[in-house]
Amino acid sequence: MKHAVLQPVIAVALAAALTGCWFSDRVEEFGGPTMGSTYTVKYVHTDATPDAAQVKAATEAILAEVDEQMSTYRDDSLVSKFNDAPAGTCMQLPEGMLELVKVGGELSEQSDGAFDMTLEPLLNLWGFGPKARAEKVPSPEQVTEARTRIGHQHLHIDGQKLCKDVGIQLDFNSIAAGYTVDKIIDRLKALGITSYLVEATGELKAAGKKPDGQPWRIAIEAPRDDERVSQRVLDLDGYGISTSGDYRNYFEENGVRYSHTIDPQTGAPITHKLASVTVADRSTLMADGLSTLLMVLGPERGMAYAKQAGIAAFFVTREGTAFITQSSPAFEQLFAAGEEQ
């Protein structure tokens, strides 16, 4: 399933190989392609855990299921069938998809519509969706028409069915990767794995310690096109991390840069100076959704929202050619200032 949204700016800090004679336990690692990007699973193998082949098979079964259900780049996926159905349609969907619709509706309501999983008509119009036209600024009339076909208020759940009263098109990309990470971790726990770092398209979560007793560490990168620069290194134990940004998925027209992040209130790409925002949450699903929500709100409204809601968020704002960073109180409480790099 290809991500229509930006791949988050998270770099997993690579540990040295832990296969020496000092430790009976070892770190297993595998990965591969998924959602138009990649995934990686690292976990501590012990005498009580299955071999890597079994863990990989279980992981890839989850990835295949999510792709079959939620990929807008597959005509035969469940979400594509729902999107192609006419207004007034109800369609039976798996519990996982209904859960994401509920979460998306709650995030939309709580943010006065800043979060919206029904933006596919606008994403396609601006050149960022699965059925995108050429990257070109649309006319105001085209934007107005597309906006008549968005909004969570046009969806409702009836038992195990999802219904739409206009031609709504769902796009799960703003929370699907976080959901997938959480699903994989639930499976790892069921297999007896307690120390892991799981990443899918940049969304990730880690828990436990490595065999040498060190925590899993990840680096938040500076939002730059030309090189990878670490801005903050975090020790993770039981938290999911998601980053949204506007600097690797955009187009330019007449000297103006148009981000892939669409503001549902205007129907157009965001225009504020927020370059990226990273969110930490016990739920990787929530971290994924909240990072998108805050990216839409921008630096001032986003920080105010994060403070009010107690969200652990790290903002990177453009200031000329430089970047200014700011953390919410919850982020600083979670990750000590001494971790600054």
| pLDDT tens track for 282-299 | 999 999 999 999 999 999
- Position 226 scores a pLDDT of 54
What pLDDT, in 10s, does the model give residues 59-97? Answer: 999 999 999 999 998 999 999 999 999 999 999 999 999
Helices of type H across 71-203:
78-84, 95-110, 120-126, 140-147, 176-190
Name the band, by pLDDT with cuts 50, 70 and 90, for residue 228. low
Spatial distance between the Cα atoms of 31 and 274, rounded to a whole number of angstroms: 31
Q: Which residue ranges form the domains of the chain, and what is each CATH number? A: 75-171 (1.10.3980.10)
Q: Once rounded to an integer, what is the mean pLDDT over residues 315-332?
A: 91
- Position 118 scores a pLDDT of 95
- Position 222 scores a pLDDT of 66
Kindly report which listed range (31-45, 51-65, 126-140) carries the lowest average pLDDT score.
126-140
The angle subtended at Cα 219 by Cα 328 and Cα 232, nearest 5°, is: 45
Classify residue 322 by its DSSP letter. E
pLDDT(16) > 50: no
What share of the chain in percent tops pLDDT 70? 85
Q: Once rounded to an integer, what is the mean pLDDT over residues 117-144?
A: 86
Question: Considering only CA atoms, which of 314, 41, 276 is closest in space to residue 180?
Answer: 41
- Position 181 scores a pLDDT of 98
User: Within 13 A of 291's CA, how many CA atoms are on the CB side?
Assistant: 37
- Name the token pair of 30: 């595998």
What pLDDT, in 10s, does the model give residues 167-195? Answer: 999 999 999 999 999 999 999 999 999 99
- Position 127 scores a pLDDT of 85
pLDDT(19) > 80: no
Question: Considering only CA atoms, which of 156, 150, 153 is closest in space to residue 169?
Answer: 150
10 Å CB burial of residue 127 (0-12, 13-18, 19+) is middle
Residue 111 near residue 297 (C-beta atoms within 8 A)? yes
Spatial distance between the Cα atoms of 165 and 168, rounded to a whole number of angstroms: 8
pLDDT(8) > 60: no
Residue 167 near residue 149 (C-beta atoms within 8 A)? yes
Counted residue by residue, the chain has a size of 341
Q: Once rounded to an integer, what is the mean pLDDT over residues 212-216?
A: 94
pLDDT(227) > 70: no
Spatial distance between the Cα atoms of 123 and 70, rounded to a whole number of angstroms: 16
Task: Kindly compute the dihedral angle of the four CA atoms of residues 128, 129, 131, 133, in this order, to the nearest 10 degrees.
Answer: -20
- Position 224 scores a pLDDT of 59
Phi, psi angles (nearest 5°) of residue 325: -110, 150
Beta-strand runs (E) in the chain = 10-12, 26-34, 37-45, 90-92, 155-158, 161-164, 196-200, 203-207, 216-221, 230-236, 239-245, 250-253, 256-259, 262-263, 268-269, 274-281, 312-319, 322-327
pTM for this predicted structure: 0.88
Q: In what order do the strands lie in the sheet with 10-12?
A: 10-12, 216-221, 230-236
Spatial distance between the Cα atoms of 304 and 284, rounded to a whole number of angstroms: 22
pLDDT(50) > 50: yes
